Amino acid sequence: MSTESLNHRSYWADSAPATGTTTFPALREDSADVVVVGGGIVGLLTAWELTRRGADVVLVEAGRIASAVSGRTSAKVTALHGFTYSSLAERHDEATAELYARSQVDALRHLAGVVDTLDADVGWERVPAYSYVESARELPRLQAEERAAAAAGLPVRAVTEVDLPFPVAGALRLDDQYQFHPRRFLLALAADLARRGVRIYENSRVVKLHDGAVGRVATADGATVTAPDVVVATHYPVFDRSGAFARLSVRREVVLAGSLPVDRAPGGMYLTFEDRTRSMRCAPLPDPGRRLLVVTGEKFTPGEEDAAGAFHRLTDWARVRFPGVRLSHRWATQDAFSTDGLPLVGRLNPATRHVLLATGFAGWGMSGGVMAARLLTDYLTGRPRPPWSRIYDPRRLPGFSEAGELLGHQAFVAKHFVGDRLHSDPPLAELAPGEGAVVEYEGERHAAYREPDGRVRLLSARCTHLGCLVRFDDAEREWACPCHGSRFAVDGSVLHGPATRPLEAREAPAEPFEGPGGGP
């Protein structure tokens, strides 16, 4: 079975549809104590925390809640984050690594309490987490992580025996971690919020922010919400005044899901950074004789690499390493990485006291999202903040170790802002049905997509965020901006921020495409 024949929707979306469970209207006008922008784990959980402390909350989501990044995750909830602790100790210091570990452990404990309070079937399971290497050459790196994680307070232990169907050179194990069905959890959270009086609005893309004594956000349709405080929980900030775009890079990662016989299914959550990252875990299925296998990997920059190739490489790997797996779903997810390796959670910038944001979780959005929701709630309710709040403050100054990352990120953006305009483009006539490319047409560069019937759809090739040239993602048939990760449908509509406006339509040639045989 090829990857094209697999279901291209997230397994979590297919197995927990929102229809009949949660349906929320589009925003008209409203006001509240706090408006939360974004309906993923950070936004929903922040609204939940604030409501339990007596705040009147409005939540506004551009599409459907729990359908963007939080609905496409692997849903590992763990404090063992690959080789994060040795990296933090090296780039910052051991105290920073310890605060990071304490914040993640606190998030796990708190999320377990939230799940217990909701009393919903969210596939919650307690399992061990592993970071492993297959090559003996990588053992020194694994040993450095063991020392750093232990110094940070995590009870990790080195092991060589794991329940994977292939050998490893070594692994770190951390017990009593969690995994769950992310959409079931988030939909249960949204239903509980609605019962508690939170007004949730869907299909309401926020495009403007007024930051004054009273904040105000406005949607593309002109609807507004006013509130003294605003939380921007949109994965990648959709407002540039934070300056976060200068400190964030974006990576995309492909995901496969399928079933295994229960006796062949690993019982833990696994991660290695070898082979362009490989991450896997299993989950319950309606058939008690089988388990769902979820495999992720092949990190790449949106619009920079061949997504179809990433799907094929991961598929081949999964079928070799897990013989007998019946793959059923394929999709992709997206993560934001800060230049100093730490999320940004807190005040938007030094000049504001009323707008907060959370971003930069580097693939650990489940535990990081819980941490962020708790920290944002402490900011907004005036409660004493935990000691780790300082390492996440967006207003922190870049350190010496961050300088190279900052310069590299800005050079990468400059390459796509300027350098892409110097490349030659394919002729429009060479574009086959179902294909897209930036092309030269009537002396200008356009994002061109040829429909299956041969008609051409032309759009501006400039991303509406900061003007970089978009590229066509052949695997997902979407336009992607390599600079900051915005994604657009073939009709130009926004699928993923930070862009909030669609690609502008251009007049296209009316004649249909004539292929080699003379017909469409």
- Give the three-state DSSP class for 195: helix
Report the pLDDT value the prediction gives residue 226, as an integer from 0 to 100: 96
- Beta strand residue intervals within 321-395, DSSP E: 326-338, 344-347, 355-359
Q: How far is CA 389 from the centre of its chain?
A: 22
Contact assessment for residue 198 and residue 27, using Cβ atoms and an 8 Å cutoff: no
Mean of all residue pLDDT scores within the chain: 88
Instruction: Tell me the domains of the chain and their CATH numbers.
Output: 421-506 (2.102.10.10)
Residue 125 has pLDDT above 50, yes or no: yes
What's the pLDDT tens digit per position in 259-286? 999 999 999 999 999 988 999 999 999 9
Per-residue model confidence (pLDDT) at position 42: 97
Do β-strands 224-227 and 436-441 pair in parallel, antiparallel, or remain unpaired? unpaired
Angle between helices 94-118 and 139-151 (to 10 degrees): 80
The whole-number pLDDT of residue 417 equals 47
Band of pLDDT at residue 20, cut at 50, 70 and 90: very low
- Residue 380 and residue 231: Cα distance in Å, rounded? 9
| High-pLDDT (> 90) share of the chain, % | 62
77 close to 367: Cβ distance less than 8 angstroms: yes
SS3 174: strand
Residue 312's H or E segment, with its range, is helix 307-321
Give buried/exposed letters for 332-342 (b at 16+ CB in 10 A, else e): bbbbbbbbbbb
Residue 176: per-residue pLDDT: 97
pLDDT of residue 242: 61
